[in-house]
C-alpha cells in the first residue's frame, strides 16, 4: 500500500475495499434517488476506475437497479451502501464516500463537483448563515427546542 492508496469498508466490515492510487473526482449529489437511497439530503461519492479497486467480501454485496442506467450496491449484513455504477461509464465505479477511511483531496484542480443542485433541499441553502455548528458530541445539543438559546 502506498501513501496515496485508500481503504474502506461497510459498517460491519464484511465488505472491504482497497483503491490503488488517488481519487481525482468527488461529487456531491442532491438528486431524489440519492436522497431516498441514503435517507439524507445528499450523498457524496468518489469516482474511480474499477480496475484500480480490489473488493473483498463481495459475496455480502447485493445490487439493485435504481434507474434505467444506475445500479447501486449495499451490504446484505449491515445495509450499508457501497457503490453505484452508471452503465454509460462502464469503466467507472462511484464509491459512497462515507465508507472510506480517509478523504484525500483530488490531485486535479477540477475534482470537486455538486450535481442536481436544483433538487437541493431548501434548508441546505442556509447552512452557513448563522446556524450553529455542533461538536461531535451530539448529546450535548438539547433536543427539546425550549431548552435551546
Query: Alpha-carbon distance 111 to 64, whole Å?
Result: 28
Whether the pLDDT of residue 127 is over 70: the answer is no
Query: In the predicted model, what is the mean pLDDT of residues 117-141?
Result: 60
Hey, what's the cell of 135? 461538536
- pLDDT at 125 exceeding the cut of 80: no
Q: Does 16 or 115 have the greater pLDDT score?
A: 16
- pLDDT number for residue 130: 52
At residue 140, does pLDDT exceed 50? no
* pLDDT per residue as tens digits for the range 2-52: 677 899 999 999 999 999 987 878 888 888 999 998 999 999 999 899 999
What pLDDT is recorded for position 126?
A: 59
Residue length of the chain = 149
Distance of CA 147 to the CA centre of its chain: 34
**Model confidence pLDDT, tens digit, residues 54-110:** 999 999 999 999 999 999 999 999 999 999 999 999 999 999 999 999 877 665 556
Residue 6 main-chain phi, psi, to 5 deg: -130, 140
Amino acid at each position: 500500500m502506498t501513501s496515496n492508496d485508500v481503504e474502506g469498508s461497510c459498517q460491519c466490515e464484511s465488505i472491504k475495499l482497497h483503491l490503488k492510487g488517488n481519487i481525482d473526482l468527488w461529487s456531491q449529489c442532491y438528486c431524489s434517488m440519492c436522497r431516498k437511497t441514503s435517507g439524507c439530503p445528499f450523498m457524496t461519492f468518489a469516482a474511480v476506475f474499477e480496475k484500480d479497486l480490489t473488493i473483498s467480501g463481495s459475496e455480502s454485496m447485493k445490487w439493485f437497479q435504481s434507474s434505467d442506467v444506475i445500479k447501486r450496491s449495499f451490504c446484505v449484513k449491515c445495509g450499508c451502501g457501497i457503490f453505484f455504477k452508471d452503465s454509460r461509464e462502464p469503466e467507472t465505479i462511484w464509491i459512497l464516500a462515507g465508507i472510506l477511511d480517509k478523504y484525500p483531496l483530488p490531485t486535479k484542480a477540477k475534482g470537486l463537483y455538486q450535481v442536481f443542485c436544483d433538487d437541493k433541499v431548501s434548508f441546505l441553502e442556509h447552512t452557513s448563515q448563522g446556524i450553529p455548528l455542533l461538536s461531535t458530541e451530539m448529546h450535548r445539543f438539547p433536543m427539546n427546542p425550549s431548552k435551546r438559546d
